[in-house]
Structure formats: structure tokens, C-alpha cells
Amino acid sequence: MSTAEVFAVDAFVRHECLGNIAGVCVPSADLTEVDFQGIAARFGAPETAFVFKKDKRFEIRWFTPEMEVDLCGHATLAAAALIWRQEESLSLEEITFESKSGSLHCRKSEEGLIELDFPALPVVEASPEPGLLTALGIQRPLFVGKSENYFLIEANDVSTVLKLSPRFDLMKLLDSAGVFVTAKSAPPFDFVSRCFFPKEGIPEDPVTGSAHCSLGPYWRKKLSKDVLRARQVSSRGGDIRITFKNARVILGGRVRIHPGSVIV
């Protein structure tokens, strides 16, 4: 069984929000994909990012405890923060990750946020997959749409989102990979959300950066706002600032790097 050094980083933290924990690993050259999956499973975070340094550029891959995924926001935010801490001699103003979702750019904002430059993933109105609303316990959503293999559901109010208690056993039987449930919020936030991915080994993801590649454009159109403040209202909670640039979504958040590392 191969082992590796993994750092724990909380992403999208703010005040009382604990954010979403990610593992970040810079693996040795002799590790295989089977090793990556085993390391992610043993570390047990919703996602673990594996970063491969190539000169001043980096490649990144993300694994849940059960599978590799094509895009992950919070683990990318975590990886960028760790690189800036460990590679101070490079004086990097921007970090570019090459990934299965293309080139992902990370930079620091004047407000001290780390900003992720991610693709905008459009939402198209769609009928809910049979059994989805029953599994969620939602009877009359305001909107149902689909983005790639994920459903986006707008609930009537924040209270509905907070009280959700999904049947994950039923959700695992569905064809879709997961669902984002969202509602309009009172200030200081524009909207809230919760995200569920039981088929990917994550019953509820505490804070999901990649989901906001769809949630952001959806609420931008609905609210006619170019700067959005979002809170994911899981038990850990997290805050995301969303802005837009051409066909890209800019996700801003803060991190907390845990002291030391672990061998898993």
C-alpha cells in the first residue's frame, strides 16, 4: 500500500463558517491512479487534490473517496493556497492549473480572497428525473433545471433548503450524479444552497465551488446582478463571492491551512 504526505486545508471559510476540508497532495512520480484513489479514500475528505509541478505551471486532479471527478472548486482553492505558502521563492502572482476541465487560473484579490477563474456551466430548464423530488422531499419547486449531469432545483424559501433531509439511498438509484438545491436569500447573501452527491461518495458536500459555476449564472440572470454573495448552508457552512468575466465565473473565498501534514 503506497503512502503520501497530505495537507488538510479548509476552503471558503469565513467567521463562523468552517468551510469544506480538502486534502492536498504533491505525489511522488512512482504513484499510480490506484494509489491516488486509495490515498483519497484513506484521507476521507470530500475531495483530495493531487498537484503535479511542471516548472511554474501545475497539473491538478481531484478524487473523492470513491472516484475521480472532472472539476472541484474548494480543493483547487486549497491547492493554490498551499502552493503560495510552499513556493514563496517563485513569486507567483497567478497560479495556473491544467485539468480535465481546461486551464484554471487562481489569483489573489485586493480584499485578500483567492479567486478561481472557472468555466460558466449553463443551466437548462428540464423535467426532474423520476424519483428525484421524492428523494429530496420537495413537492413544488419553483424551478428545475439541469447542468451537465447535475440537477439544479430552486426551492420556495431558505427554510425549505435548511430543513432538507434527503433519502440518499434513493438518490443513489438515480441516473444523475447529484443535485444543487437553492433559494433566494435575504441580505447579506443573494442566495443559499446545499449540494448532494451520494453517487460520487459525498452524501452532502459542505461547500461546493464547482456547483457555483452553474448557480452563479442562474442567479445572475434571475437577480440581474454581476456580483453575488452566496452561502452554502451545510452544517459546516461556507461563503463564496461570485463575479463574472466573459464566459467565466470568478469564485472568491478564504482558506485556513491546518498545521503540519499527515501520512496516509
Question: What are the tens digits of pLDDT across the range 33-81?
Answer: 999 999 999 999 999 999 998 776 899 999 999 999 999 999 999 999 9
Q: Do domains 5-116+251-263 and 124-249 have the same CATH topology?
A: yes
**124-249: what fold?**
Diaminopimelate Epimerase; Chain A, domain 1 (3.10.310)
- Are 44 and 66 in contact by the 8 Å Cβ rule? The answer is no
Q: Residue with C-alpha cell 501545475?
A: 58
Beta bridge partners of 62: 49, 69
Domain positions in the chain are 5-116+251-263, 124-249
Known catalytic residue at 47: yes
Task: Report DSSP letters for 208-264, one per residue.
Answer: -TTTHHHHHHHHHHHHT-SSEEEEE-SSS-EEEEEEEETTEEEEEE-EEEPSS-EE-
> What is the CATH code of the structural domain delimited by 5-116+251-263?
3.10.310.10
Q: To which H or E segment does residue 149 belong?
A: none
Beta bridge partners of 125: 145
Looking at residue 146, what is its pLDDT? Answer: 97
| Residue 235, CA distances (Å) to 162, 205, 207, 232 in order | 10, 10, 10, 9
Round to whole Å and give the CA distance between 205 and 180: 10
Looking at residue 89, what is its pLDDT? Answer: 54
Report residue 141 as a C-alpha cell.
419547486
Beta bridge partners of 106: 95, 116
* Residues in CB range of 4: below 8 A, 6 or more apart: 25, 27, 28, 31, 35, 39, 263, 264
Looking at residue 40, what is its pLDDT? Answer: 96
Q: What is the pTM of this model?
A: 0.94
CA 98, 207, 239, 83 dihedral sign is: negative
Per-residue pLDDT of the chain (264 residues; tens, 9 = 90+): 788 999 999 999 988 899 999 999 998 778 899 999 999 999 999 999 999 987 768 999 999 999 999 999 999 999 999 999 887 656 678 999 999 999 999 999 988 899 999 999 999 999 999 999 999 999 999 999 999 999 999 999 999 999 999 999 999 999 999 999 999 999 999 999 999 999 999 999 999 999 999 999 999 999 999 999 999 999 999 999 999 999 899 999 999 999 989 899
Looking at residue 88, what is its pLDDT? Answer: 66
HSE-up (13 A, CA, CB side) for residue 180: 28
Looking at residue 57, what is its pLDDT? Answer: 80
Looking at residue 236, what is its pLDDT? Answer: 97
Q: Which of 207, 210, 194 is nearest to 158 (CA)?
A: 194
Catalytic hit among 16, 47, 59, 98: 47
Round to whole Å and give the CA distance between 99 and 73: 12
Cβ-in-10-Å burial (0-12, 13-18, 19+) of 8 comes to: buried
Looking at residue 166, what is its pLDDT? Answer: 97
Q: Is 205 helix (H, G, I), strand (E, B) or coil?
A: strand
Q: Residue with C-alpha cell 447535475?
A: 150
